[in-house]
Structure 1
Amino acid sequence: MLESNPLPVLWHFAREWWLIYEIVLAMFIVGTLLERRWPVERQQSRAATRLNLAYSAISTAFGRATRPLMAAASVWIVNLFGGGLIVLPAHGGGVLVSVLAVVLMVDLLEYWFHRLQHAWPLLWRMHSLHHSADSFNVTVTTRHYWFEAVLKGCLMYPLVGVLFKVEPSIIGVATLIFLPGNFFAHLNLRISLGRFATWVNNPQYHRLHHSRRTEHFDRNFTQLLPLWDRLFGTMWVPAPNEWPQTGLDDDAEPASVLAALYWPLRKRTAGEPVAGPQHAAE
């Protein structure tokens, strides 16, 4: 009788969901405190921030709900290609090598997927929601169209399992590296890393990627390591006082959470580029 009781399972999923919300909320709070102390823009839209918070709550819930689908897709793809071609160590000093290998692999995949988001019209229709934010701050971190996470989970991340046979704990450590780095890169924070500005993604480096200025279009795609931008010719090294305005050229921005949820289906305005910012400059 007890074995058929669904309450423990539901409680387990509820705790997982709440943990994710706690982590995101903690990142938002810490980021906001830093932004208030050293902001790039002191006056930003409170309405836009409220929209980002509400949208984040919904998209995060959707991401958790679709995890079984993404897990099933991962297993199928990994098995299809005979995954785990390279066995990564999970003990001793080899753990550092494993974490580094996973971080580099995921970051490279993120880089190329991000470039596709700017090049393919359908992907850009979704990704432009992220770029539509005039107020660039920590709450923009999770302002990605909800279906993008499904695409990554079903098609991109399984490639890591195809290449590497790795313990889940290693994946967990890699996630802990990417998570704060992603929030950090979206801060409305006037901070310059000087000679290290092109060593790791940071608020100034990534702000240039969101810039309205044509010279910044299709630059600084990386999620964690600018190494990929340097290797593939998409790096823009920020000048000391280079803090451009962000957003889309046509000022398009969702007016409500509902508008954000169906963002790719909205009617395009005249002259709106069908793909990434590079087309606006042509």
Structure 2
Amino acid sequence: MIHKILILTLEPYLAYLFFVLIGWVIERKVNSVEVNRLNPIRLNLECGLLYELTAAITLTVAPAFTTVGVNAAGGGWIVLPSSGWTLFPAFLLYAFTMDFFEYLFHRAQHRIPILWSMHSLHHSDAAINASTTNRHYWAEFAIKSMTIYMMGGIIFKVSSTIIGFYVVLGFYNFFPHMNLRVGLGRWWMVLNSPQYHRIHHSSLREHWNCNFSGLFPIFDVIFGTFHIPKQGEYPPTGLDTGEHPSGLIEAAFWPVRSLWRGAKVIDGLKVE
């Protein structure tokens, strides 16, 4: 079991390091919003490793909570094709459905206090960059496994090919988190971009509760949570309170830290 956990931890983490390195190089070659500080990047790398470790433990100890696990147990109302010309439409259907679930979960993270107490760790990065992508609280993967990933397995019976395509598509998430002055202009609705997602990470009240979509902003359009970036609009990021973890230990106990301070944290606003 330990050997399997190590493999499931190191493989995605090495991929994470690769994309962080690529992003770090691009962010210094292209017109970036700000110069990334090394200390937050180091903390992000540490948080990313802890997140991948807990994800690996979840996959090993409770595989039934994943889409593949639910399928193996007999789940999957809709059987998606695994080959032929219908494979690509099937993959798009799966990708859009799962991104919709990601959108709903993200909305919940900003509305339910206990979920926000964890998710605020991701938003506490005042120097958003490619390494911020996996700066998530370590328990979030298990929660998503028992909710949206399980739901994906209940609805769809998917092949390893579609799962593989979806994993590859997931690497796109590094791009919207990059510290770049890059937007899609009039095509903002097609895909998430660094400018569009930076609005979501903004510490300014005027940008709160918008641009939740992970891959496809169309869900923000449908539910009225979109904010169309204006030309040159690249706001500061981080929590409005200025709170951020001083190190990995504090990040690992981030929600409890909020309770220790006797504060209720909702949508980035600390209410005593």
TM-score (norm 2): 0.91
- 5+ residue gaps, structure 1, are 1-8
Aligned pairs, number: 270
Partner of 2:29: 37
Residue 246, structure 1, aligned to residue 237, structure 2: yes
The residue type equivalent to 2:93 in the other structure is: A
**Cα distance in 1 between the residues matched to 2:68 and 2:178:** 37
Identify which of 218, 237, 240 aligns with 2:228.
237
Q: Structure 1 residue aligned with 2:40, among 31, 48, 53?
A: 48
Aligned residue identity for 2:91: V
Tell me how far 1:26 sits from its aligned partner.
Answer: 0.8
Give runs of aligned pairs for residues 85-234 of structure 1, distance below 5 A.
Answer: 85-179=77-171, 181-234=172-225
- The alignment yields a C-alpha RMSD, in angstroms, of 2.4
Aligned mates of 2:147, 2:65 — CA distance in 1: 8
Deviation string for 1:240-279 (max 9, x for gaps)?
10000001111000001000000000045989653224x6
Structure 2 CA distance for aligned equivalents of residues 76 and 48 of structure 1:
34
1:171-230 superposed Cα distances (whole Å, 9 cap, x missing partner): 111121122x11111000111222222210110000000101222100000000000000
Corresponding letter in the other structure for 1:128: S
- How many Å separate the matches in 1 of 2:264 and 2:70? 36
1:83 to 41, 56, 75: 75
List, as ranges, runs of 4+ consecutive aligned residues in structure 1 with deviation greater than 6 Å.
none
Residue pair 1:254, 1:263 contacting (<8 A) in 2 also: yes
- Give SS of 1:141's match: helix
Gaps of at least 5 residues in structure 2 are none
**Deviation of 1:37 (Å):** 1.2
Shift of the alpha carbon at 1:17?
Answer: 3.4
Deviation at residue 91 of structure 1 after TM alignment: 1.4
Whole-Å Cα distance in 2 between the matches of residues 76 and 167 of structure 1? 9
Match of 1:6 in 2: none
Give secondary structure in 1 for the equivalent of 2:175. Answer: helix
Q: Residue in 2 aligned with 1:265?
A: 256
> Larger Cα Rg: Structure 1 or Structure 2?
1
| Structure 2 partner of 1:276 | 267
> How far apart are the structure 2 equivalents of 1:16 and 1:68?
9
Residues 1-26 of structure 1, C-alpha deviations (whole Å, 9 max, x = no match): xxxxxxxx766654443322221111
Q: 1:188 to 1:75 in 2, by over 3 A?
A: closer
Name the CA distance, whole Å, in 2 between partners of 1:269 and 1:239.
39
Give the 3 Å change call, closer, same or farther, for CA 76–60 of structure 1 in structure 2: closer
Q: Which segment drifts farther, 150-159 or 59-68? A: 59-68
Distance in 2 (alpha carbons) for counterparts of 1:41 and 1:160: 37
Say whether the 8 Å CA contact 1:70–1:153 is kept in structure 2.
no
Cα separation, 2, equivalents of 1:227 and 1:182: 16
Decide whether aligned partners of structure 1 residues 120 and 11 sit closer, same or farther in structure 2, where only a CA change above 3 A counts.
Answer: closer
Deviation at 1:50, TM superposition (A): 1.1
What is the letter of the counterpart of residue 130 of structure 2?
Answer: V
Q: TM-score, normalised by structure 1?
A: 0.88
Q: Evaluate the alpha carbon distance shift between residue 156 and residue 250 of structure 1 in structure 2; reply closer, same or farther with a 3 A threshold.
A: same
